[in-house]
Structure 1
Amino acid sequence: MAALTSSLDLAEVFSESHKVLSRVLAADFGGLCVSRPGAPGQYDWPMVHEMPPVFFERYPEIADECFVSAAVIQRPNTVLRDSEMMSRQAMRNCAMYAHCREMNMPVERVMSVLLDVGLGWHGGFTLYRESRRSFSDQERAFLQRLTPILARTVRNCRLMEDAVQRATLMDGLFQHGGLESIVLSPPATELMRTPRSTGLLHRWFKGAPCGRLGLPVVLLDALERLVRAETLGLCAQDVLMFRRPERSLKVTFLALPLQQGRRPWALLLQEVSHAVSAPGEWRKRLTPREMDVVERVLKGWDNQTIAEDMGSSMNTMKTHLKRIFVKLAVPSRAKLILLAQEQNAERV
């Protein structure tokens, strides 16, 4: 019990536990495998004891003929010995028996249990003996009493690993320069969001219909389509662009690793300015006031917005623009913006 509760690191806790179990149950080899989240047919082997690495490298080749997993999967949380899995003759004729002998790891006796961890995970704990002495009824009963504790330990360790991975991923998302993030667990749970994401949504979707969690319906609908498409194994549009004259909002929908059997999604929000910088040589031809006007025109602002921002009348603003067009030899605002783009490109 002390060994099983000594850590929340799965490899560490079972390494310590096996020192006790191998002595009490007289086992020569032992292994614990745990299914990967979202992939019940694929396994991690966080704890092995004196077993050749090649065993795990070649295991996929014989997985379909593994008599141990085929037996315990039918009776989860029940300890089984090899004699309860198949006859001695059938065991000697199976691929796994031959595979182990080829690796100089002769296996004559086996005792194993499938640990039903819950939350979409399961694990397999197996002990092996080189000698032909069977695991006794007493030894089987001992491991059976430990089975609920083993399952609970695997569950707790997996939950801790899951939380650490999630925190690392979220930290990476939230610290990515220029991005705001909202993480959801569809259909109606918000896991977290960056501080400035709410203000960004308010600026872009003010007055737009909102649904669950106060999020714009257009984003919730897009997320629903993506979740449905993933379930069906299909592709769907995972980037939305919202445009204004002076800037755009890019919303990227990112599927995250499964968390407790459910897949969270991150909405990555990136605001991009369309502003074109004024070429430096224009300052020699325009007054400081006219340069102020040009910089606002290059941001895509209209005359009314520029006038209000600069505290000028519309007539004064139009006069500034006429003088700017004459000095730079352009006929319109569009040509002014195009000229700035061209001259910036030439400098690059």
Structure 2
Amino acid sequence: MNLNTHELMLRDRVISALNSSLSFPQVLEAARAPLLELAPSDSVALCLMRTTPVLDFKWLVPGHPIPLLEHYASVSDHDFVRAPIFARPNEVILDEEMLPRREYEHSLLYQRSRELGLGLEHVMAVLLPIRPDFLGALALYRTRRRSFSSRCAAILSSLNPHLVNAVRNCSDVQSLATGAQLLEELYGRPDTAVLVVEPPSRVVMCSKHAGFLLERWFTPSDLHSSGLPLPLKERLDALILLGADSRLEKNVWYSHQPDGYRTVRFIELPAREGPRQWALLMNELPMSIPLPVDMRRKLTSSEANVAKYLLRSWSSEQIASELGIKVFTVDTHVRNIREKLGIDSRMDLLYLAARFNKPV
């Protein structure tokens, strides 16, 4: 999709805002203005949903409140947006694809929004799978009779990976405080391996478990003069130079070992001023990981079978040979698995399955 100069500037502002904080409300407030201008809308809202043990939701609305969402619990059973976006995760859906206009105007949600003084004439929304039990749904609204265009949907779709990454990062630290308190909490947890690095290579903090893993993973010849392992320094140097879109695909370093995988997730920490530090979250994953029940429920039997072999680190060719199917079919299942579970790569599947089986 071709964006003009002004649209590119707005998109960069949205992406920068999504990485400006590890707090859901702060991220939304920072992204609200450029997002509403980039995909012309009157308001935006993010719904965070837990799917187990029962569906639970929380709406976050930056800027002016949306009265309907303050009363959402009373009309949630009549939400015509939910089914379409659940059926097509990671795809932006326009209201005209959800309901014919006549049914839209007769829906309880629409009627209730008018009664509350802010008629939501049009909506487009997207479901963002974050983890097997955790989802986000972003919705943009217009209060005037002017339909969203397919171009608006395409623009919002281009931001999907950044939205997922922002929600995932915020979620990872939601139970902890941000800033110095976050780092102290991470540092104090015996099961958490975290390095905090100030580019280009100054190690600001190293938890006890991270120190243990560093000694086990790397030899003295692997270390930079700063003490940071060269493979991790090289990945951090590359991430700093990359654009926001390219960075998403390379923010996890991993090493395949005989007994399993070693992974490091790179998270840029927010800062009001000065250089932005990075948290390097280290983890070890066994070679074969069971497919968690809640992940299996989201997949067809064929997809679950393929996922089982992905968790053993089998290639598409090996899986195809074992199951007696074509490699193209395996790759199709892999793509569907990514979309349904909200993951970016096979390593992400390993990481999330290990975390879901034994939460960090």
TM-score interval, smaller chain: 0.3 to 0.5
Greater relative contact order (Cα 8 A, min sep 6): structure 1 or 2? 2
Pair member with larger Rg: 1
